[in-house]
Structure 1
Amino acid sequence: MSDWLADTRDSYDTVAVSYADHTRDLLDGLPHLRAALRLFAEEVRGPVADVGCGPGTITALLNELGVDAFGIDLSPAMISLARRNHPGLRFEVGSMTEPLGDPVGGIIAWWSLIHVPDDEVPAVFGHFREALRPDGLLQLGFHVGDETRLKTRGYGGHPMRVHVHLREPERVAEWLREAGFTVEARWLLGEDGAVLFARRG
Structure 2
Amino acid sequence: MTPKQQRGAETADRLLDAALQVYAEAGEQGVTVSALTRASGVSLGSMYHHFGSVDGLMDALLTRWLTRLLGELTAALERSRTARTGIRAVVQTYLGFVEEHPDAARLLHSSYADRMNMAQARQVRDAQEARLSPVAAWVDGRIAAGELVALPLPLIEGLILGPVVATARRHLSGLDDVDLAQAARVLPDRIWRSLAP
TM-score (norm 2): 0.25
The structure whose residues are more often strand, as a share, is 1
TM-score (norm 1): 0.25
The structure whose residues are more often helix, as a share, is 2
